Structure formats: C-alpha cells, structure tokens
C-alpha cells in the first residue's frame, strides 16, 4: 500500500461521490460496493442514490440475499434487474475475455437505466488493487464511462476493510466473492447446471463452517476445492472429508480434489499467463 493515510483517502472518496451528484451504484453486497454505497448515503440525499443489483444464474443465491438485506439496512433504494449474459453465445462459450462480454452487456444496460432515471453516473466497486489482476471487464467499464470511486480514491482492499470496520459495516471481514462463471475453466461452456453445482457445493462448505474463503472449481466430473491455507487440514479431517465426498458425489462430481496451495485470487488465470509467456 502507498504512504497516503486512510483518512485522506476516505475524505477523497466522499469528495468524489459528492461531486458525482446523482449516482446509480452497481451493488453486489460485497465488501467494496457496500462501503461505496454507505459513503454515498453519507454525502448524498436519498433521492440521489439508487443501488442496482444484477441477477442471473452466475450470481450465488447467498450473495443476492445479502445485497437485499444490506440495502434495507442502509435505507437505500434498491432495484433488482435480470442480467442476460447467459443468453449471449459469446459469453457461454467461455473465452478468456468472458468478463468483458458480460460487463459490456450488463453495464451497458445500467448506463441506459441511469439515463432514463436521471442519474449522472454509474459507479462500481472496483478498488485500487483490482488493477493488478487480469480483469478484462474493467475495459468494458472504462469504455462505457462507468466510474470507480474507490479506485479513484486509491483505496486498497485492506484499507476498505479497515474503513468498513471503523464505520460499523458488518461486511468488513466478509470473504471476497466473484461471479460463479469464474469457477469454470476458460473454453469449457458455461451452463446453468454447472453453475448450480458450484453454488451448492460452496454453500455446503460455508454452512459446515469449514472455511472463510471458498472456491469450487468445476472440471467436468472433478471438483477442485480452494480454501484459505489454514483451513485445508480442517477439510481433510476424516468426518469432514466424508461429508464433503458424500455431498459432492450426490451433486454429480465423481472426483474431488483439495488444492494444497490454498485459495489464490485469479488462480484460473494462470493458463493465460502461461500462454502470454509462450507467445512472447
């Protein structure tokens, strides 16, 4: 992280949002967008903010519920709208730029909605650290003129967690989340059945209380489980291992692997890094 104080960045974030005047916030209910929405509520009048949550088969059920509950807690107007990326052949074929395709469609509709409702800007929860990972969706966001106030304020993920805790947001220690499509290797078609399998298995692990950060990567008949390194031994305990095997087999997986490296953000992108090296 840089040497600027969190207080200074927090002040900058407030100034950015106040200057934006009327904001439609793309709201997932996660750590980043919750802080963004909370600060927007602090500096803007109620009729100058609208939280909008897109939902489709790529959205985990628990995340949709969390978004609804959080907007009610914050007292902010909230709109759910169906996202149509699963109707796009170019998305479901699962190319390396699937996130660009999804965001171009989804945020294009948000920009149109903002215009129809008289909002000056669409804002998303991209933070300053997100620029370090392979995120083709950010290109779509830039092309559409969507703003990322957290990134503009140069707020890193850890700083967002600290600020969230300071102002009493329960999301301060919430696990990071990503679209369910990110669990499926590039080139493997995305379909509703695969997404449901992933969602169900991740929810099962969370409900057992075995890990904080959970990813279930889908490789056809095989599932690869990623959790934070310190939780690996817990999943491998005999009783937990049996519960996982029984449930994953019931869901449709024949083989279940536990990644000994532990959860790594963007682990599915390693093949892309390798390809870039090979082609120079």
Q: What is the pLDDT of residues 102-156, one digit of tens each?
A: 999 999 999 999 999 999 999 999 999 887 666 788 899 999 999 999 999 999 9
Q: What is the pLDDT of residues 37-54, one digit of tens each?
A: 999 999 999 999 999 999
Report the CATH number of the 6-173 domain: 3.40.50.620
Predicted TM-score (pTM) of the model is 0.90
How confident is the model at residue 133, as a pLDDT? 65
How confident is the model at residue 255, as a pLDDT? 98
pLDDT: which is higher, 138 or 86: 86
CATH fold of the domain at 180-270: Alpha-Beta Plaits (3.30.70)
How confident is the model at residue 270, as a pLDDT? 74
Domain residue extents for the chain: 6-173, 180-270
How confident is the model at residue 1, as a pLDDT? 61
How confident is the model at residue 97, as a pLDDT? 93
Percent of the chain whose predicted confidence (pLDDT) is above 90: 88
Q: Is the pLDDT of residue 90 over 90?
A: yes
Backbone φ and ψ for 3, nearest 5 degrees, come out as -85, -10
How confident is the model at residue 279, as a pLDDT? 27
Report the Cα 154 to chain-centroid distance in Å: 19
Mean per-residue pLDDT of the chain: 93
Q: Is the pLDDT of residue 280 over 50?
A: no
Q: Is the pLDDT of residue 274 over 60?
A: no
Cβ neighbours around 199 below 10 Å, total: 20
pLDDT: which is higher, 99 or 264: 99
């Amino acid at each position: 992280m840089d040497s600027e104080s969190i207080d200074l960045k927090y002040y900058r974030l407030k100034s950015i949002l106040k200057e934006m005047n009327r904001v439609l916030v793309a709201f997932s209910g996660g750590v980043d967008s919750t802080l963004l929405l909370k600060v927007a509520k602090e500096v803007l009048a109620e009729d100058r903010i609208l939280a909008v949550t897109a939902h489709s088969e790529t959205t985990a059920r628990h995340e949709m519920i969390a978004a609804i509950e959080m907007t009610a807690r914050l007292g902010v107007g909230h709109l759910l709208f169906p996202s149509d990326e699963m109707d796009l052949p170019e998305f479901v074929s699962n190319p390396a730029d699937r996130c660009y395709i999804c965001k171009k469609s989804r945020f294009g509709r948000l920009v149109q909605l903002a215009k129809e409702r008289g909002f000056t800007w669409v804002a998303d929860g991209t933070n300053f650290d997100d620029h370090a990972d392979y995120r083709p969706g950010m290109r779509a966001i830039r092309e559409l003129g969507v703003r990322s106030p957290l990134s503009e304020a140069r707020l890193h993920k850890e700083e967002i967690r600290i600020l969230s805790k300071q102002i009493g947001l329960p999301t301060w220690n919430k696990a990071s989340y990503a679209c369910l499509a990110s669990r499926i290797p590039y080139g493997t078609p995305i379909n509703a059945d695969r997404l449901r399998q992933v969602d169900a298995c991740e929810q099962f692990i969370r409900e057992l209380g075995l890990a904080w950060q959970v990813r279930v990567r889908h490789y056809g008949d095989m599932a690869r489980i990623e959790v934070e390194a310190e939780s690996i031994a817990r999943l491998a305990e005999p009783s937990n291992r049996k519960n996982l095997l029984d449930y994953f087999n019931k869901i449709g997986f024949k083989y279940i692997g536990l990644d000994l490296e532990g959860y790594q953000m963007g682990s599915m992108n390693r093949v892309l890094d390798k390809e870039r090296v090979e082609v120079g």
